Every structure is written in C-alpha cells, then in structure tokens.
Amino acid sequence: MADELSPADRSSLAAEQGPVNMAVGGVLVFEGGKGVSHDAIIARLEGRLHLIPRYRQRLQQPTPGGVTNPVWVDDEGFDTGWHVRRAATDDVARLVGVEMSRRLDRSRPLWEMTVVDGFEDDRVALLPKMHHALVDGVAAVDVGTVILDPSAEPMDMSPDAPWQPQPYDRRRHLARLAAAPMWQAQRLFLQGAERALAADPLRAAGDLRKATELLAEVARNRPQAPMTFLNRPIGPNRRYAMARVPLDALKVAGKAAGGTVNDAILAAVAGMLGRLFAQAGERPARPPVALVPVSVRQPGEEGGNRISTVLVDLPAGEADPAQRVAQIHTTMTALKDSAAVRAGALLVGASGWAPPLVSSTLARAMGGVRAFNVVVSNIPGPQQPFYLNGSRLLEAYPVVPLNPASQGLTVGVLSYDGAVHFGLLADRDLDPPVEAAREALVAALDELTSGANVPNPPS
C-alpha cells in the first residue's frame, strides 16, 4: 500500500535544504485539568488517529538515488507515545523556538506534539509540530478540529476495529510505475506528473514548461522586493513571539477604512514593518512585499497542500493606519480580479511535478529570486470554543516556517473564538530581534484599533 504525494507536498520536501526547516506548528493554550495530561492526550490521539490516517504514515523511497518520488506508506512500528513529549516551562515562546530549530525525523511519521506544564493560572499548552508536506495551514486547522470537541463533553469517535498497518510491497509499487505509459516515455522529467495532474504525458510536459516559464516571468517582470534586514542569510535556529487582538476590533477598523478584516491584518503587519525599518535605520526604496498564501481547497478535499499565493505590496511608509487599510484593500481587490491566484497555484505546484533531483533545482531557483520580504499566512479558524477532554482551548497561535534561506521572519495569523492570534517566527540572529517585532506589531494593532469600541486591547 502506498499513497502518492501531491506536487506541493513534494515541493515542501525539496525546499528543506541547508538552514530551511519546513515544519509548521502552533501553540494551543488550554485550561488546566486531567484531560490535558500527557497520558490523556496520548489516549485521545489513539482514539482518533483513524480519522487522520496520514499521522500513521511515513515516507518511503521506492528506488535509491532520488530517481523516483517518495510515497506515503503505513509505519509498521508506529508508537503514539514516541511522538508525544513532555516539557515544563513558563516561557513557551522560547520552547517553540528550540523545537522549530530541530528537523523532524523523516524515517517516522512527520509530526510531534509537546505537552507543556508550568503556566500561570494552571494552564497547559500543546505544541503540535508537523512537516509542511504532511499538511498545509487550512488542513492543520482541520486536524485540530478532529482532535478537539465542540463542547466540554467529549464525543465518542472510537474506531470500529484496531488499526493494522498495511505492509509496503516495493516490487509491486515499482511494477505499477513501470507499467505507466508516461514512465516508459520520459521517466525522469515527467515521473509523478501522470498521477498528480492527468494521464496525458504531453499535458504534464506542457504544465511543467509553463511552471518554469512562470518562475522566469516573476523574476523578469516584477521588480525585486527591496533588500532589507529581513532578507539576509538565515541560520538553522529560531526564535518565536506571540500577540493577539479581539477579532471585532479588526473588523471595525477594517470596515471604517473601507476594507475587510484581512486588509486590517495586512495593514497591521505593514505598520509593524515600518517601525522595524526605523529601528534598523533602513528606508527601503520601494514598499516591502508580502507573500500571502491563499487557500484554493475545494469542498470535500482533505489533507495535503491546496494553496495558491499572491504578492502584495505593503504600505509600510504610510503613517495613517486607515490609509494603509484602504491601499491594501485596493491592491487585494485588483489581485482577486486577475489571474494572479491561478498563477500562484501553478507556481506552488511546479517543483513537485518533476523528480526530486529536479525539484531541488527549482526550489533553489525560487530562493534566488527576491520576490518578497515576508510571509503573512492568514488562516481562518473556528469562532466557537473547542475543548480537549473537557478543558477549553483558550488561545491558538500558528507557527509558519522560514523559506527560502533568505527570509528572516514569518507572520502566522489564526482567528479563533473571537480573537486574532499572531505567531512570529524568526531567525535566531534577526536584528532587530523577534521580540522587537512583537512590540512593533502590538503598537501597530493598538494604533489601528484604538477607535474600535471593544474590550481587551492587543497583547
């Protein structure tokens, strides 16, 4: 038994080179209680992993030397307890930085969780960590809602029968590959495209050509993003910081300026960057550019990566927060009415359509084009409270990886239960550091929402 990786999933594996770590994650803060103990969380996972079967699968390379793409196979030695660790600290942000500095073991299913005690008010944090090839941001939220409950009373979602791994038969898999007409025609440069795109190898070849042309087009026709302190070479180690703001405050701020809550979020990031540039003594020649992932997941699609991307100029030099919202709204409206989202989907999937050796080349080519300065990944989450074994989930912060190796900061954004949660992941040696970025973001959020008549200011 073997499942193919999607093109974007293979791109995520190929991008993990040098100091780049393609793990995504989060910080989930719960009320204290017996239901969020280490043993209780292991029991919860074991009772629901049948709903997310990829969590029991690992990568398998059918042939040596990187000629074929890896596939997902059941891990016959799977042990839930190995994947769930324990820690005690009152500095969760520091722990996240340490955890995101360490790559996942590719010989095992590509996820881990850390149960963290030591909070004030007897709270407990859960730090999930997953490889981007396993799940994108939207699917990560789906995973969370499978593990959690919509009420304090746990639901019975036990499997009908104990899980049994299906053995992987390398010879049968290779025989299936060899029988594919596309493999016989152009097995090196088109392997994987037949299953990922269509049974027509000519169409696959055309799509791959379009993808590589798109890479060149992005580099040729769009001005490079300005060189800033955010875009120096990074190391392997990370630091992390968190902030949050009431969702209603951002809705009011966005609407007052003629925009949306998403426009307000990007306006706050622009205000953060303006403050950081001032601290760094930089005055970029043109507006900084954000890479903004956009979900293109269709109803009924599950798991893997289903994302597109757009490049958005951020008015970091605009002092008026309302004007920042208005300018971003105009930009985003124009992008949504163009072919940019479709082109972005092609760009994300491009390097997954080639064998791994070619994928690595395309990943490096993308890293050589300074098309953006910062990633802003805004994930819509559930607005009702969720629970884990009766303990309410209070806060939920995302962690977005740094990629490519010249990107020193990412901004993850997740809305949940009436609040918008920001997670800032940075290179350990970023200067100004990630804590300065957090302070600048809180100041920008406060400035943006100061006229909104809602309780609980940004924190």
Please write the tens of the pLDDT for every residue from 296-355: 555 665 555 455 667 889 999 999 999 999 999 998 888 766 655 555 555 555 445 444
Residue 329 is assigned to a structural domain of this protein: yes
Residue 440 is assigned to a structural domain of this protein: yes
Element (H, E) at 219: helix 201-221
- Give me the pLDDT at residue 137, please: 54
Residue 162 is assigned to a structural domain of this protein: no
Residue 290: how many CA atoms within 13 Å on its side-chain side? 28
Task: Encode 420-436: b = buried (16+ Cβ within 10 Å), e = exposed.
Answer: bbbbbbbbbebebebeb
Looking at the structure, tell me whether residues 311 and 439 fall in a common domain: yes
Residue 154 is assigned to a structural domain of this protein: no
Report the relative pairing of strands 374-380 and 409-416 from DSSP bridges: parallel
Looking at the structure, tell me whether residues 255 and 364 fall in a common domain: yes
CATH classification at residue 78: 3.30.559.10
Residue 192 is assigned to a structural domain of this protein: no
Indicate the residue among 147, 169, 184 that finishes a domain: 147
Looking at the structure, tell me whether residues 135 and 54 fall in a common domain: yes
Looking at the structure, tell me whether residues 140 and 230 fall in a common domain: no
- Give me the pLDDT at residue 353, please: 46
* pLDDT over 50 at 190, yes or no: no
Looking at the structure, tell me whether residues 311 and 413 fall in a common domain: yes
Looking at the structure, tell me whether residues 279 and 406 fall in a common domain: yes
Residue 179 is assigned to a structural domain of this protein: no
Rounded to whole angstroms, the Cα distance separating 211 from 384 reads 40
Looking at the structure, tell me whether residues 237 and 137 fall in a common domain: no
Residue 59 is assigned to a structural domain of this protein: yes
38-42, 100-104, 151-155, range with the lowest pLDDT:
151-155
Kindly report the backbone phi and psi dihedral angles of residue 424, in degrees, each rounded to the nearest multiple of 5, phi listed first.
-105, 115
Looking at the structure, tell me whether residues 392 and 281 fall in a common domain: yes
Residue range of the domain that includes 115:
3-147
- Give me the pLDDT at residue 189, please: 30
CATH classification at residue 336: 3.30.559.30
pLDDT in tens, 362-417: 455 555 667 789 999 988 888 899 999 999 999 999 999 998 889 999 999 999 99
Looking at the structure, tell me whether residues 306 and 444 fall in a common domain: yes
Contact 415, 247 (CB under 8 A): yes
Indicate the residue among 147, 171, 186 that finishes a domain: 147
Domain tally for the chain? Answer: 2
Looking at the structure, tell me whether residues 140 and 273 fall in a common domain: no
pLDDT in tens, 418-458: 999 999 999 999 999 999 999 999 999 999 999 766 667 78
Looking at the structure, tell me whether residues 399 and 313 fall in a common domain: yes
Looking at the structure, tell me whether residues 104 and 229 fall in a common domain: no
Indicate the residue among 147, 175, 193 that finishes a domain: 147
Residue 129 is assigned to a structural domain of this protein: yes
pLDDT in tens, 197-249: 333 444 444 554 555 455 445 545 567 899 999 999 999 999 999 999 999 99
pLDDT in tens, 109-128: 999 999 999 887 889 999 99
pLDDT in tens, 148-182: 888 899 888 777 777 877 764 445 544 443 444 43
